[in-house]
A and B are shown apart, each in its own frame.
Chain A
């Protein structure tokens, strides 16, 4: 809470600015709201276009009915007033009239429902997506994980521009930019003309992922996954906001979708992948036995010890690694192959999702732990080479 005088001062200041017309002139935000926008956002997807059509259709039908019905009422109000000398008639109850005015609205409603059904079915068809992205609602930001398609593996968080959040708190928006409260640090980037499937979920409470220009809004529900889709037809920047009350910063978790051409998108993916890779271990690094043993022990404990035991002796059907011929073999490829592909019809699963460095470390570790003591050292580059085969 702010001090009362400060509040009053800011209100007075704003009132003055508003009355005096001195307020900062704000412009339309392409892909976001326009100043005093009267209708839905200009559609950028087929579905949004259909929604536009349906809305216009409904608006026109409803307006025509409204005008017709109330023309009758106001005619009656004008003509059938006592001050105009109107004498009240005494008619009431007419089955014919009542059946007619029940059946006609019923038929109109059916006429409205038919085109809506078509759009609804298309809207729910999330199959055959070119790119699948999981969006996770957090209090109060969005997480994007590229699950399938070009860019697979990318994962990042998108948060409101902190200067906008701070400006909101000051209460002084005189210098607010056109994308006030809509600018984020990392926009969601997608290629144009491709079917993008958005899978929503949430980490804490329900959020809703909405982008009006695409005609999508899908609740992001913790513990559940839901999906929606869009195929943007124009490159550009499109904006939306969280649409389900999610706590105090509900108004401050905007969505910015950047639609790029296919080549720009590929370049973006490549650049992001490089950035992501830079953060990882360099697979070209040459390790010493001591260092890689330490790393390998951790990887072993986290992934292997549950079955093969910390002692490496295995248990029941689980094969022991201590003294294993494959592990002790001087040909590293044999053991690496088992890790990458799995063995025993999947009883030993494949571990190819582990990084090259982690795999090299765990192989090196098992080759030297317990009674194995082979002195063999496996470098990440060997894993890279074997993966390529």
Chain B
């Protein structure tokens, strides 16, 4: 990010420079002591991409082992460690921090605030992630290897794990604290620091979705902390919350975990909805069809997400009334989700569309995410779920919503705002190559997994019956392509922009885009909106 990374004190040659009185630290101190939301956003984004690569390498090791039946590369112990750590690292290290990075960069710019509300806490919540990540990755080198109980950390299997389980729990505690601080920051920023005239219902959709997400985070991260703390005391202090040998209830762990876990999946998708809701109108050159209904749909999804958790537990043997309730509630979530899809399509309808890379990823997101949504509806039906629970069908489903959903939306957002961050245009040709490689290899990897799951191949299996061999081989080939496509993205798209190579970006590179972030120069100066801007009636333009 040329201007942003290298010359903080002389951010470009733009109008704001005349008043630039920034004399912050330089060199490594600039990053370690960072209090600027843009710097911290950049740190978050680079951190999450690093973790995406680490988690991706673990995924490729899993796929390499599963390329053929029989154990060729890893033993079953290590295999379970790989699946567990792939899940934990991708969820807590890659996807969540990436959205926080976006929030840091974009929310102050979008609402006309000078920075995040609590700048030092912002710094702390980022730097907390580093020791947590080191603990997670370092757990591979502890005696007995990394935790191998699955990312869901079900008791009582967790009680059998080695010391790395404690490292993992500690890491999750730290990450949880970081998330809670980040959320408080985002809520306070949005509620208190909007520019005069920007009422809540004039706020950009990304800020809206993050506001709702932040409340979800504050509500559920302590629940996770409770669950893993009880696991910790069961392991070391003789309690029996989940240990059946002492009268504990392992199913209670699952209830508590999924009370966190289900809102958690919406935490990872709602900001993605926000990004898509900004990009589709920009490239259709037409207002978002139903702004208010999008806000209501997002809120309904958030509220419903608290009463559907046990659909992850249909096979634990709940009473029939419990299963019915959770089945109905889960199916109900498809209604607000459908409203969102219809809204995006109605926004495209009779627009004047162009398909630059952000729009390609947005359309790709809508298309592929919807497949994941439909398989979710199929899984929500308890009688079918009895067949599909804990099979590769579930693996296919959640990768369709987390990779084709969250990750594609993140890519869409990166391409959309990269000119604002770095001041240069990315290469459109390379962006399109990245999109098509990602889309095609994603489907090669994960589509065959639906068949494997229907045929009954359980997940988290290091070896499998011969009949599953071909689809596994196809998925493994696809995963290698998908992984390489992301390396291509970093080396050939992101790095050149960070080095300032490419056409200079105008303040507003997308003619249909709306919002205050496009009112400041590209790259965004180190300090923006130091004085509250005066906004027009729609709160999308600065008028002095």
Contacts and interface: CB of A to CB of B under 8 A. Distances in A.
Contacts of B256: none
B291 A93 contact: yes
A50 interface: yes
A33 B456 contact: yes
A123 B73 contact: no
Contacts of A251: 76, 458, 461-464
B434 to A, nearest CB: 20
Nearest to A79: B350
A41 B76 contact: no
Contact of A116 (B76, B156, B382): B382
A171 interface: yes
Contacts of A47: 383
A241 to B, nearest CB: 5
Given A204-B156, A217-B386, A222-B250, A77 B73 contact: no
Given A93-B289, A251-B462, A218 B384 contact: no
B381 A181 contact: no
A80 B352 contact: yes
B197 to A, nearest CB: 20
A168 B71 CA distance: 6
Interface string B435-474: 0000000000000000100111110111111111111010
Interface string A5-30: 00100110010001000011010110
A245 B155 CA distance: 11
Interface stretch (A207-215, A303-311, A324-332, A343-351): A207-215
A226 B386 CA distance: 14
Interface string B330-367: 01101100110110011111111111000000010011
Interface residues of A, number: 113
A286 interface: no
B175 to A, nearest CB: 22
B245 A82 contact: no
A250 B71 CA distance: 14
A171 B70 contact: yes
B390 A243 contact: yes
A228 B287 CA distance: 53
B540 to A, nearest CB: 14
B467 A32 contact: yes
Contacts of B370: 66, 69-70
Nearest to B344: A73
A46 B456 CA distance: 18
Interface stretch (A94-102, A270-278, A373-381): A94-102
A89 B286 contact: yes
Nearest to A104: B338
A88 B76 contact: no
A86 B244 contact: no
Contact of A109 (B69, B317, B335): B335
Interface of A: 1-2, 7, 10-11, 14, 18, 23-24, 26, 28-29, 32-41, 47-48, 50-51, 54-55, 58-59, 62, 65-66, 69-70, 72-73, 76-77, 80-83, 86-94, 97-98, 101-102, 105-106, 109, 112-113, 116-117, 119-121, 123-124, 167-173, 176, 178-182, 200, 204-206, 208, 210, 212, 215-219, 221-224, 226-228, 240-252
Given A81-B354, A98-B339, 20 more contacts: A37-B454, A55-B378, A62-B374, A73-B345, A77-B363, A81-B352, A86-B350, A87-B352, A92-B286, A102-B339, A109-B331, A173-B466, A178-B467, A182-B465, A208-B390, A215-B386, A221-B250, A221-B316, A222-B245, A224-B244
Interface of B: 67-78, 80, 148-150, 154, 156-157, 160, 244-245, 247-251, 284-293, 315-317, 319-320, 323-324, 327-328, 331-332, 334-335, 338-339, 341-342, 345-355, 363, 366-367, 370-371, 374, 377-378, 381-384, 386-387, 389-391, 451, 454-458, 460-471, 473, 512
